Amino acid sequence: MIAGIFTPTAVESETASFISQVNGRWDYIEFVTVFNEAVNDGTATVAQVEAAVAYVKARVPNNVQVVAVDTFAAFILNPDLCNVGSSFIAANCQPYFSAIEASTAGTYVLEQRANVAAACSVSVSDVLITG
């Protein structure tokens, strides 16, 4: 299961609620997401994302991966987002919202994944397309 903390203004309460609901069953959790497109949407700064990732990481077991999720464009336009302490780069890329036809959607996603990897100075294999 992939579970997450969504609201930038409620990191502490959502983290506490999440941990309570997991109730020690961490083997069910694939990774924990922190926010969803918060930098892209302007609801959090890169510094706030970094603080939230650190906050969550300090409260979950060490073997649980924690990752900030944002759009591919947010990573490209804000390369510091690549270095917020996430376990890996998690970029949303939804061709539909870029008016990309289905016949070229796969190529488009792969291109954006490569663009994020280049902006973040990481291997393409370090970038997971999450949405």
Residue owning tokens 């918060």 = 38
Residue 131 has pLDDT above 90, yes or no: no
pTM of the model: 0.92
| DSSP letter string, 92-111 | E--GGGGT--HHHHHHHHHH
- What is the separation, in whole angstroms, between the first and last Cα of the chain? 15
pLDDT in tens, 57-112: 999 999 999 999 999 999 999 999 999 999 999 999 998 888 889 999 999 999 99
Q: 52 and 74 in contact (C-beta within 8 Å)?
A: no
Report in angstroms the alpha-carbon separations of 31 from 35, 74, 97, 123.
13, 21, 26, 20
pLDDT in tens, 34-56: 999 999 999 999 999 999 999 99
Spatial separation of the C-alpha atoms in residues 71 and 109, rounded to whole Å: 12
